[in-house]
Amino acid sequence: MKILLSLLILLGLASCKTLENVKKGFETTVDSVSSSSIGSLDSSTRTIPGVSIGGESWNSYPAATDDPEQANQLLVLDSNAPETTFYFNDKKIAVGSFDVRVRIDSSQSYAITAHPKGYIAKEEFIKPPYNANVPLKFTFMLGDKTKRKKRR
């Protein structure tokens, strides 16, 4: 019985030590993330939460702003319908379905319209603050399909 009790005590101490190490590792990770330049921008590199994009890659994404230099954040758009055309404030910006990335000005509001071929258009209004980690999703169902003319 004493041996069993001793083993339980040793096991408890070992798990406490492991928990302490896990906690230290978590605190180190949080400290390193909070001290990094998340959200900062400069002319050569755009840093977005979780993503660092070099100047060349950053400019390859379409900008939804009149002045592309004002675009300081990525917005990810998703549509379950293929060949969806995305409009920002009635201006055609991109065509795609999943993981369509568009540069936006994080201080502006936008009316975004998603219009896939063969479906009605759907519109969303977005305004700051934006979360770069959450995509804007458009879902189209069979009832959203446009009527086709019957062949005779």
Pull the structure tokens for residue 79: 């549509």
- Sorting pLDDT into bands at 50, 70 and 90, what band is 112? very high
3 vs 83, more confident: 83
7 vs 55, more confident: 7
Instruction: Tell me, yes or no, whether 2 lies in a domain.
Output: no
Instruction: Tell me, yes or no, whether 45 lies in a domain.
Output: no
**CATH number of the domain where residue 76 is located:** 2.60.40
Task: Look up the domain containing 108 and give its range.
Answer: 61-144
Instruction: Tell me, yes or no, whether 34 lies in a domain.
Output: no
pLDDT of residue 46: 44
Instruction: Tell me, yes or no, whether 133 lies in a domain.
Output: yes
Instruction: Give the whole-angstrom CA distance, residue 57 versus residue 43.
Output: 13
Question: pTM higher than 0.75, yes or no?
Answer: no
pLDDT of residue 140: 97
Strand partners, 56: none
Count of structural domains, the chain: 1
pLDDT digits (tens, 9 = 90+) for 27-78: 544 344 333 333 434 433 344 444 445 555 888 899 998 888 889 999 999 9
Instruction: Tell me, yes or no, whether 74 lies in a domain.
Output: yes
What percentage of the chain carries pLDDT values higher than 90?
46
pLDDT of residue 132: 78
Residue in 92, 93, 87, 90 with CA at minimum distance from that of residue 138: 87
pLDDT of residue 149: 62
pLDDT at 23 over 80: no
Instruction: Tell me, yes or no, whether 132 lies in a domain.
Output: yes
pLDDT at 138 over 50: yes
Instruction: Tell me, yes or no, whether 56 lies in a domain.
Output: no
Instruction: Give the whole-angstrom CA distance, residue 15 versus residue 74.
Output: 43
Per the prediction, the chain carries an average pLDDT of: 76
Instruction: Tell me, yes or no, whether 81 lies in a domain.
Output: yes
